[in-house]
């Protein structure tokens, strides 16, 4: 893929036509640890107090290799960082995996016709004795040094590219959703789990009584298993605590509510003894819903389609936790350009579950998702051009209903379609600079400045394909 040029602003006379990704933001050093912004809790703030919009494509095998081969083919993390850089992204979820396999037939049309081998996992496979997959059993008191060395190296490499990393502590989709789906071997995720009694040398059974094909490790029902999980959490924190670009995620789409809160508290309490304190989040589509995530001790959350966050997500208002709105919890794999802009201008940090090279699920570099990848870079670039700390969703100020604004001073409006939009400039007459942006082509076109107040009509030069309007009060 060719490199994508940095956004080139145009003069008031000449419009410069550039590629749709040309506003991809130039990489800047990851500065942190991040904190919830004190004045605008829709965003995190970096070490200097500047608001940070988090956007990016993430993919499943970014930490644990997954492939039909055994051992699985190594993932090219450097090429993946290049891919993120070309699209101007600044955030990934660094996926873990809890089981030694992944039967992707559980993923329907996106899946492969084979079972992935997944390695390395966090715990060392020392034996004695064989696990259900014929390999040495896990010793849950010993960690795999290669796993944690890789974790450290990849978070550092992302930091050097200006990319923030959410370190996923546990993976719950396999046990909660994929474990007993049609077309798969019943209990595949549990049979491959280190906490299955046949798979470890420690006598740990994290299963569910009376249901031999079901694991129940992401709960507080097994104190001995929880003690081992707590030791693992501390090991992760020890590995990356000094790195500024770190966030944590409790679990992907799994975990009982009390266990999720327990994990959050484990991280917070242990990090209080360390130099760095980092945000930790909870994602939906496990046992959690929007209300329970908002009531949790997490710093950020990820709502989904079950919570009503689909094509036109509700504005993120009145909440003290950051919303990392992820297509993974909305479509699984899906999304479109308008969703990215709608999410951004309604106060969310949009993320994309990306099939990337197609080695795990889906098609390689599926061009159907290029508009999503490009739009993520575009909104990040725009977040750095506006006074984001002062901006909030103000759908009532624009007839399109999608507007991020500092009322009377600055407005960023999205028109999914249509030629005109009205914007309420406020009650005080002033001069405003006006700029239009075309997300499809990347063209930026200044318009005639306006002077006035109240509701004004603005005509898009890019109709009807969708466009972005920026209005800013002049000194």
Domain boundaries, the chain: 35-390, 394-473
Confidence band of 286 (pLDDT split at 50, 70, 90): very high
Helix (H), strand (E) at residue 46: none
| pLDDT, mean of residues 422-430 | 97
In this predicted structure, what is the pLDDT of residue 27?
58
Model-wide pTM > 0.85: yes
CB 31 within 8 A of CB 59: no
Q: Label residue 17 by pLDDT band (50, 70, 90).
A: very low
- Checking if the pLDDT of 10 tops 50, the result is no
pLDDT score recorded for residue 464: 84
4 pLDDT more than 70: no
Report pLDDT for 11: 29
- Write down the pLDDT at residue 26: 52
pLDDT at 147 over 60: yes
User: Mind listing the pLDDT tens digit for each residue in 249-270?
Assistant: 999 999 999 999 999 999 999 9
The residue-averaged pLDDT of 104-119 equals 96
Distance CA 239, CA 275 (A): 13
Answer yes or no: is pLDDT of 25 > 80. no
Q: Examine the pLDDT at 1 and tell me if it is beyond 90.
A: no
Q: What's the pLDDT band for 465 if we cut at 50, 70, 90?
A: confident
Q: What is the mean pLDDT of residues 460-469?
A: 92
CA distance 95 to 283: 13
Quick one: fold of 35-390?
TIM Barrel (3.20.20)
Higher-pLDDT residue of 311, 43: 43
- 378, two tokens: 């575009």
Within 10 A of 68 (CB to CB), how many other CB atoms are there? 14
Give the C-alpha separation, 202 to 141, whole Å: 8
pLDDT band (50, 70, 90) for residue 463: confident
User: What single-letter DSSP state applies at residue 6?
Assistant: P
Instruction: Give yes or no on whether 35-390 and 394-473 have one common fold.
Output: no
CATH architecture of 394-473: Sandwich (2.60)
Give the sign of the dihedral formed by CA 188, CA 189, CA 190, CA 195: positive
Beta-carbon contacts of residue 13 (< 8 Å; ≥ 6 apart): none
pLDDT of residue 263: 98
- Within 8 A by CB and 6+ apart from 238, the residues are none
Lowest mean pLDDT among 6-10, 129-133, 184-188: 6-10
User: How many CB atoms are closer than 10 A to CB 84?
Assistant: 26
């Amino acid at each position: 893929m060719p490199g994508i040029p940095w956004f080139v602003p145009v003069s008031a006379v000449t419009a410069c036509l550039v590629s749709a990704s040309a506003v991809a933001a130039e990489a800047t050093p990851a500065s942190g640890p991040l904190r919830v912004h004190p004045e605008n809790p829709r965003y995190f703030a970096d070490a200097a107090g500047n608001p940070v919009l988090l956007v990016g494509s993430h993919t499943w095998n970014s930490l644990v290799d997954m492939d039909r081969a055994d051992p699985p083919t190594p993932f090219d993390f450097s090429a993946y960082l290049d891919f993120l850089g070309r699209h101007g992204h600044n955030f990934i979820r660094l996926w873990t995996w809890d089981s030694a396999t992944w039967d992707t037939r559980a993923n329907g049309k996106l899946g492969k016709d084979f079972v992935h081998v997944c390695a390395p996992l966090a715990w060392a496979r020392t034996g004695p004795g064989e696990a259900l997959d014929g390999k040495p059993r896990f010793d849950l008191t010993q960690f795999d040094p290669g796993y944690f060395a890789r974790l450290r190296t990849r978070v550092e490499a992302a930091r050097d590219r200006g990319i923030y990393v959410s370190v996923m502590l546990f993976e719950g989709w396999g046990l909660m959703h994929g474990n007993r789906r049609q077309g798969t071997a019943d209990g595949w995720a549990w049979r491959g789990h280190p906490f299955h009694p046949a798979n470890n040398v420690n006598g740990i059974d994290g299963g569910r009584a009376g249901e031999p094909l079901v694991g129940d490790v992401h709960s507080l029902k097994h104190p001995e298993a929880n003690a081992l999980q707590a030791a693992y959490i501390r090991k992760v924190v020890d590995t990356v605590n000094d790195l500024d670009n770190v966030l944590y995620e409790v679990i992907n789409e799994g975990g009982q509510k009390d266990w999720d809160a327990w994990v959050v508290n484990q991280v917070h309490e242990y990090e209080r003894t360390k130099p760095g304190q980092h945000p930790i989040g909870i994602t939906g589509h496990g046992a959690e819903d929007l209300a329970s995530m908002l009531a949790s001790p997490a710093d950020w959350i990820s709502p989904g389609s079950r919570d009503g966050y689909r094509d036109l997500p509700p504005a993120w208002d009145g909440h003290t936790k950051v919303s990392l709105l992820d297509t993974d919890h909305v479509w699984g794999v899906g999304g479109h350009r308008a969703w990215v802009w709608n999410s951004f201008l309604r106060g969310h940090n949009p993320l994309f579950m990306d099939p990337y090279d197609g080695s795990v699920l889906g098609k390689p570099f599926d061009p159907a998702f290029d508009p999503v990848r490009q739009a993520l870079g575009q909104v990040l670039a725009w977040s750095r051009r506006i006074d984001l700390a002062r901006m909030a969703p103000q759908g009532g100020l624009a007839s399109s209903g999608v507007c991020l604004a500092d009322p009377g001073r600055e407005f960023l409006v999205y028109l999914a379609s249509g030629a005109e939009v009205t914007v309420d400039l406020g009650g005080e007459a002033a001069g405003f600079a006006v700029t239009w942006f075309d997300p499809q082509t990347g063209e930026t076109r200044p318009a005639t400045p306006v002077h006035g107040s109240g509701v004004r009509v603005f005509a898009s030069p890019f109709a009807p394909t969708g466009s972005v309007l920026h209005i800013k009060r002049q000194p």
